[in-house]
Amino acid sequence: MRLDLQNIRKEFNKTVAVDSLNLSIPEGTVFGLVGPNGAGKTTTIRMIMDILQPDSGTILFNGNPIGAADLPKIGYLPEERGLYRKMKLLDTIVYFGTLKGLSKAVSKQRSERYLDRFNLNDYANRKIEELSKGNQQKVQFIIAILHDPDLVILDEPFAGLDPVNQMILKELITEFHNAGKTIVFSTHQMEQVEKLCHDVCMIHQGQRVLYGNLKEIKKNYGIRKFRIQYEGNEKAVSEITNAEWTVTHDSISGDLASGLEINDVLQQIISEVTITHVDISEPSLEQIFIDLVKGGNGA
């Protein structure tokens, strides 16, 4: 499936939460909707889920305006927990599975499989209110994916999860992606986006400030640092390379300015020395965001 947001806008009491947002989420991608708290991420997701109506703009699902018939194809993990606290864990998951069109038997079978995956078997007959926040988060994630949706939307999915359960969640996201599903997750934890996402939309104060393929963004934004280790004549290297780079008896390090590739550097020195190792450090997504916001640039 493909999801398109066209010029979406939403205001609350004259405060603009989402301002003329345009983005396309291709089928089968892992897409990151990122930005600081209060940027407009959750409002955008709630409009996709038809919980909120945009003041203007259009949301398309496979090329058509999104409607009630499309919602069963979507799995949604909200940022705020919405579980029935007095119900037992297994009964809760089975119930939500039937709401998504599964038979009770199939819902129970899938529920038990995911409880085992998340090491929740021992809590199956516990009430939701007896679970830790992390375990409640795992339950909400299971509910979101139980019906095998085509599109999975996860709002701050790693909140409250320890490193082991974060790893399980990442494994499941990868499995869903490998099965051709589309995954959208919203977070302010940009290091998680760098590990999982192919494409990103970064928003700040309701506006899009960065959008596109993550690899291309990291290639084109910010300064990349390099370090080349070599064997050979240090003096010769010093004379032919950029004066701003640091040259030692066995290495060269510096910044790759815009438009400069590592091969350009290597070509300068390859006739003088033997290259033993090359390392390039790209700017982090968080650093790119900070630079964009400080500079006031949009995308």
pLDDT band, very low/low/confident/very high, at 150 (cuts 50, 70, 90) = very high
pLDDT at 285 over 60: yes
Fold of 223-282: Alpha-Beta Plaits (3.30.70)
Report d(CA 255, CA 271) in Å as an integer.
22
Exposed/middle/buried for residue 106 (C-beta within 10 Å: 0-12, 13-18, 19+): middle
Question: Is this model's pTM higher than 0.75 or not?
Answer: yes
Domain ranges of the chain: 3-218, 223-282
Residue 125, classed as helix, strand or coil, is coil
Confidence of residue 297 (pLDDT cuts 50, 70, 90): very low
* DSSP helix/strand/coil, 115: helix
Distance CA 75, CA 53 (A): 19
Among residues 146, 196, 150, 149, which one has the least CA distance to residue 174? 196
Supply the pLDDT for residue 258. Answer: 64
% of the chain surpassing 90 pLDDT: 43
- Fold for the domain defined by 3-218: Rossmann fold (3.40.50)
pLDDT, tens digit, 9 for 90 and up, residues 127-147: 999 998 888 989 999 999 999
